A and B are shown apart, each in its own frame.
Chain A
Amino acid sequence: MLRSLGRMGAAGRRGWLMGAAVALGLAAFGAMPAEAQQGKVLKWGAAREIASLDPYSFGDTFTLATLNHVYEGLVRYTGELGIEPALAESWETVSPTIWRFKLRRGVAFHGGEAFTADDVVASLQRVSHETSPLKGNLPAYKSSRKIDDHTVEIEVTGPYPLLLNDLTNIFILSKTWMEKNNALLPTDSGKGIKGYATDNANGTGPFMVESRRPDARTVFVVNPKWWDKPQHNLARIEFTPIASAATRVAAMLSGEIDFTNVAPLQDLPRLSAAPGVKVMQSSELRTVYFAMNLKDQLPNSDVKDRNPFKDVRVREALYRAIDIDAVHRRAMRGLSRNTGAIVAPAIPGYQPAQDVRLPFDLDGAKKLLADAGFPNGFGFTLNCVSDGLVNEEEFCQAVAAMWTRAGLKVTLDLAPRSQQTPKRVRGEFDVISFGWANEPMIDAYSILIQVIRSKSGTGGVFNWGDWGRADMDALIDAAGVELDRPKRIALMSEALNIIKREHLFIPMHQQPMAWAIRGNVAAMVQASDNKPRLWLTKMN
């Protein structure tokens, strides 16, 4: 803070001090402990705006991670991605399909309402309502019931090992508050109804929303009555979305922001070299791979009579044609972790044996193509998202060039997510780049059920290219109801082995994540799920 003030000049300093004074003045109403009164202000420059203050409006990881500072679930992940109690103190399984949660006592919402079982039931009903966009995040949910004010039972559709993982991201809203503001149901853009919860928030979390100007600034202030003991010393978080990477870096360098959770890879050397800026960098859970459309015909290929990708030799050729070291060194700036598997090591289901890549072998690739009947290659379109994965533009271009050298005629289709997603959902693609972090479950079941499973009910939502197979489906379904962890993991590993053997996907790397903080940030937890947990942040 003081450092940044020095750079603002005298005129700017007064404004910032005034702002801080207002924040402190407001906070003083709540009879704050002495420690919090000297709380710090953290200026957070994010790469984009959160979609809404309503935690049930968008199944968007970043929005949920940010709202997690305001809202909480029954359980939460630790900094090491273990599950720990949050609004629930303890739980037990009454039967394979019924879970009973003991709720924490003495918890209050920011608005003052006491936290009770009614809130949990109302929240679960809201999130699982048929118009809820987050319905899919709680796939096994059947119903919930209040036992007493601080006990709730949740019934699932069948034996389901991952309920707790799912619940980390289901945040609890106050029932009375929802009732009062006519927000018991999720926002329905179809009805043209704007939900009260879109602009207002009332959670139990460590921070409260003080003000929000979309695309400009959202201010969070510390919740003095938080049930948990704060491990942070923040009084205030000023959240500002800065979409332009260059501007964000500039703001970081000039001290206008203290923290960004998206530091562009290419700017890391510059940021690390800058005085007073520190880069926090490691690998994410998210594994990046290429997926090929396995429908009967490719929409954009010059091969019309069949789908070349149905031939495993073609898939292998594409795999072998990739010089992953070049991608790692250049496109990913040496910060990615090359992988032969499609889940990260931290994900249950991962096996080191799967993590061995096919070697880069251009001649082998050409030979495989020739064997498959394409000595002169064939043409197809590579669909990549310009605002998606880390350096997606770069590695897609690099891989396109590599495939071209193998004799294929690659057209690169780069566009924003909003334009690419519809095409992908409709199956109108030949090859796509794809990344899956297995969140919020932190379990390989996530990718298996959602991406790999053939389409059926809640399964295979992301199986856009018909790459599901009966043998895998059987393994996945078995894992979905297996409550014994070692058996379940074995089932999942078997399914993943099939993918590996058949080269159904071409794995690339676990993508890097890079945060940048200024020197005034003393401690910050960066877990491999790439979610900021600012309630674990200390500033000087």
Chain B
Amino acid sequence: MAEGAIRRWLGSDMGLSFRASPVAVASLAVLVLVALSALLAPLIAPQNPYDLKQVFIDKAEIPPIWMRDGEWPFLLGTDPQGRDVLSSILYGTRMSLLIGVAAVAVSMTIGVSIGLAAGFLGGWVDNLLMRIADTVLSIPTLLVAILVSAVARALLPPGLREPFAAVILVASISLTGWVQYARTVRASTMVERRKEYAQAARIIGVSSARIMRRHILPNTLTPVLVAATLNLGLAILAEATLSFLGVGMPITQPSLGALIRIGNQYLFSGVWWLVVFPAVQLGLIVLSVNLLGDWLRDALNPKLN
């Protein structure tokens, strides 16, 4: 069934364009690989870096396996605590992807709902929602995220900060993230609702809610899809930046950004593998996402074909 769907898709215009773009194929392959390895981290990682029982400080700062003092099973070496870098990266990737995907999903859900409501209902609802969007936009995203993280950490009782760190991050990224979706969806909703098919439904007597949901929503989602893909890259970067600044994931459940922050402290001590591998992984993920997003945008842009 799925195979059939994939085969059908590969035969469609999109699929043809996909097959003709080695960059898109490579990006998707990298992403699938990265996502799978991150999802299966508990099964394939040599070590659980969160389980302190498995971490021996005597195994600290072992270089990658191909170097002189490399040691099995630490393929990419260990950190100053004796944590396996490869395992940390797999778990960190899991964390980064999880936060990125969740942030995109949350902002998309909020943004699409608000955009649809504003575009379809118009009038004061539209006015109010768009003024809110203006205000959110008048504070730079990064600043909002830092403030939210800082404020949330100041308000939450200490015991809740760590378990909620990821939630706080998702919330702080989504708090501004929804605006783009809202604007996109609002714009296309305003176009779509004037289109004849929507008016035909109105003439038939279909209710507004139903027109919004069944007719207009599906037709506004193409740009949302592109935006979501490109924003996934941005969200992962935002998370990394916040963690790098020290207002993101704690050291005990590090994301890629937190790993880079930790690694950065060892930049000059010869323990380069701490910063290089997470940075490469982060760059690779974001690059693949962006390349895929770029391709998707071009492929879905009728004007380019």
Contact = CB atoms under 8 A, between A and B. Distances in A.
Contacts of A250: 268
A164 interface: no
Nearest to B158: A423
B28 to A, nearest CB: 35
B270 A270 contact: yes
A394 B265 CA distance: 12
Interface string A379-407: 00100001000000110011011001100
Contacts of B52: 397, 400-401, 404-405, 410
Most buried by B among A246, A393, A410: A246
Contacts of B80: 266, 330-331, 394
A411 interface: yes
B35 interface: no
B299 to A, nearest CB: 42
Contacts of A405: 52-53
A404 B53 CA distance: 6
A482 interface: no
- What secondary structure prevails in chain A residues at the interface with B? helix
B55 interface: yes
A414 B250 contact: yes
B303 to A, nearest CB: 46
Nearest to A300: B159
Interface size class of B (residues with CB under 8 A): 20 to 34
B158 A266 contact: no
B267 interface: yes
A327 B58 CA distance: 9
A249 interface: yes
Interface string A410-446: 1111111001000100001000000000000000000
A190 interface: no
B186 to A, nearest CB: 40
B159 A267 contact: no
Nearest to A327: B57
A413 B165 CA distance: 12
A330 B60 contact: yes
Contacts of A244: 264
Interface string B52-67: 1101111011000000
A414 B158 CA distance: 10
A250 B265 CA distance: 11
Nearest to A383: B158
B266 A401 contact: no
Contacts of B58: 326, 329-330
Most buried by B among A323, A330, A412: A330
B223 interface: no
B166 to A, nearest CB: 16
A412 B246 contact: no
A513 to B, nearest CB: 17
Interface string A309-336: 0000000000000010011011100000
A336 B2 CA distance: 61
A224 interface: no
Nearest to B56: A401
Contacts of B127: none
A331 B80 CA distance: 7
Contacts of A404: 51-53
5 contacts: A329-B58, A330-B61, A401-B53, A412-B252, A414-B250
Interface of A: 244-246, 249-250, 253, 264, 266-271, 300, 323, 326-327, 329-331, 381, 386, 393-394, 397-398, 400-401, 404-405, 410-416, 419, 423, 428
> What 5 pairs across the A-B complex have the smallest Cβ distances?
A404-B52, A266-B269, A401-B52, A330-B60, A249-B268
